[in-house]
Structure 1
Amino acid sequence: MRKSIENLAGRKMTGGRKVANRGRRKFEIDRYPNEAVAGTTDIVIRRVRGANVKAAFKTAEFANVVDSDAKKVTKSKILKVSKNTANRDYERRGVISKGAVIETEAGSALVTSRPGQNGVVNAVLIKAKQ
C-alpha cells in the first residue's frame, strides 16, 4: 500500500503553519502522469521502485483488438479516441487510458490495458465496421 504524503506539511485548522517532521521518502516520489495519445509509436522506459523498469506509451499507433465473435486478435491502426469516461478533458485531448473507446480500422473498441503503464494497447471490439 502506498502512503499518502498530503499532510507532511500544511496548515492547522486554526490557520497556523505546520512544519513537516520529515521529508519525502523514496517510495513517495511523484511523477508527471504519462498520458498516451494516438500517433506514431513512441515508448518511454522509466525506472521504478525495486530497480524495475516500466515501458509506457507516449504515442500509440496500433492496438491489439480482440474480436470475441471470430475468436481472433488483430493488430489495428488507431484512428481516434471517440470516448473516455475517465476524464472529459482526456476525451477532448485524445488520451488513451483504460476504459476509453477508440476508433480502429476494425471498428469501435474498448481499451482493456493501461497504455501509460504497460506500453501496450489491448482492446475488445464493441462494434465492427461494415
Structure 2
Amino acid sequence: MKSHGRSPRKRTGGRRRPIRKKKKHELGTSPTETRVGDRKLKTVKARGGGSKVRALQTDVASVATGAETVEATIENVVENDANPNYVRRNIITKGALVETSEGLARVTSRPGQDGQVNAVLVDEE
C-alpha cells in the first residue's frame, strides 16, 4: 500500500492507475527505531552528498543537568508519546522519557537521524 502521493481511488470509487514510478527524491525509508542496548551505529548516504549516522541501538545519553552535561547510561524507556508500544519494546524517539543513571530524562534529539541521544533531566513530581 502506497502511503505518499495521491489516492489510488477516484472520488467516484474508480481505480486510478499510477502515472509513473517514484523519482529518487520522492523515495523514503522506514524509520530507524533506536533500541536500548549495546551501541550500534549505521552510516547512510544522505541527499546532497552528505551522510547521516543512525543509532540502531544505544545505551548512552548526554544528559543536561542544569549547569553541566554528563554522560549517563540508559536503563529503559518509561514513557513515549509517539507510540505506546515503543515503551514495551524499549524504543527511543524524540520526546521519550527515559530512565538513566542520573534520573528521569526527556530526549531532545532524534537518535534515528543524529546517531546520539541528548536529553534534559526532568524534575520528579
TM-score, L = length of structure 1: 0.87
SS at match of 1:40: coil
The 1-side partners of 2:5 and 2:45 are apart by 24
The count of corresponding residues between Structure 1 and Structure 2 is 122
The 1-side partners of 2:123 and 2:38 are apart by 24
How high is the sequence identity, in percent, across the aligned residues?
39
Aligned ranges 1:77-92 → 2 under 5 Å: 77-92=73-88
The 2-side partners of 1:5 and 1:103 are apart by 35
The 1-side partners of 2:123 and 2:37 are apart by 22
SS at match of 2:13: coil
CA RMSD, 1 decimal: 1.6
Partner of 1:111: 107
SS at match of 2:54: strand
The 2-side partners of 1:95 and 1:34 are apart by 10
Partner of 1:125: 121
Partner of 1:41: 39
> More helix by proportion, 1 or 2?
1
SS at match of 1:17: coil
Given candidates 18, 26, 32, the residue that maps to 2:30 is 32
Q: For structure 1, which runs of at least 5 residues remain unmatched after alignment? A: none
* Runs of 4+ in structure 1 over 6 Å off: none
SS at match of 1:85: coil
Q: For structure 2, which runs of at least 5 residues remain unmatched after alignment? A: none
Please say if 1:100 is aligned against 2:96. Answer: yes
The 2-side partners of 1:33 and 1:89 are apart by 15
The 1-side partners of 2:4 and 2:93 are apart by 25
Residue 57 of structure 1 aligns with an amino acid whose one-letter code is: A
The 1-side partners of 2:69 and 2:4 are apart by 42
